């Protein structure tokens, strides 16, 4: 259990590490180039992983919904955005505001899809997040 907790913390730290490295690369190149290298190097690492885990092309892949294929294209903009922001806002504020945008949009998505899991608690969370975003603007 303790190992799983440490791994969980590690996975979050890797997100920050990746954003910091991409941000450094963007300083010498551009945000979009850092996004390209992030995806390209990640792909090169994942090919052997996929081979070890099974195959490069599971048979179900052919029948996947089109939306399942566009995540990578969305990710290109997301990573480029992170690389653009991190030299401007710093790692902590960049991470915090990205999480804020992620949570606000996912609550909105849940509402649209009619999932109302403990709605009052979620709305309290939304208010706190909005307050946090407001605070980040104040000197």
Select from 105, 112, 104, 106 the least CA-distant residue to 132: 104
* Closest distance to other proteins from the beta carbon of 101 (Å): 2
2 binds other proteins (CB under 8 A): no
CB of 95 to other proteins, least distance (A): 5
* DSSP code per residue over 9-29: HHHHHHHHHHHHHHHHHHHHS
Ramachandran quadrant class, 9 (left: phi over 0; alpha: psi -120 to 50; beta: rest): alpha
Q: From the CA atom positions of the chain, what is the Rg in Å?
A: 18
Contacting other proteins (CB under 8 A), which of 1, 2, 112, 114? 1
With 0-12 / 13-18 / 19 or more C-beta atoms within 10 angstroms meaning exposed / middle / buried, residue 22 is buried
Which string of x and - marks every residue 80-119 that binds other proteins (by CB under 8 A)? xxx-xxxxxxxxxxxxxxxxxxxxxxxx-x-------xxx
Instruction: Give the nearest distance from C-beta 2 to other proteins in angstroms.
Output: 11
Give the list of residues 6+ apart from residue 88 with CB closer than 8 angstroms, or none. Answer: none
Interface residue with other proteins among 2, 74, 112, 114 (CB under 8 A) is 74
Minimum Å gap between C-beta 22 and other proteins is 4
Binders of other proteins: how many residues, by CB under 8 A?
114
Binding to other proteins (CB under 8 A) within 14-73 occurs at 14-25, 27-30, 32-47, 49-50, 53-54, 56, 58, 60-61, 63-65, 67-73
**Min dist. Cβ of residue 115 to other proteins (A):** 8
Whose tokens are 């990573």? That residue is 79
């Amino acid at each position: 259990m303790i190992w799983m907790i440490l791994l969980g913390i590690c996975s979050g730290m890797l997100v920050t590490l990746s954003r910091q490295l991409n941000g450094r690369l963007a300083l010498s190149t551009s945000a979009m180039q850092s996004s390209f290298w992030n995806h390209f190097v990640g792909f090169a690492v994942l090919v052997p992983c996929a081979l070890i885990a099974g195959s490069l092309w599971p048979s179900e892949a052919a029948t996947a919904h089109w939306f399942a294929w566009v995540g990578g294209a969305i990710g290109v903009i997301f990573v480029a955005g992170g690389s653009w922001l991190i030299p401007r806002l710093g790692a902590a504020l960049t991470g915090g505001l990205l999480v804020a945008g992620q949570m606000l949009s996912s609550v909105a998505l849940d509402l649209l899809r009619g999932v109302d899991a403990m709605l009052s608690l979620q709305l309290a969370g939304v208010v706190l997040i909005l307050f946090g975003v407001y605070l980040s603007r104040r000197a």
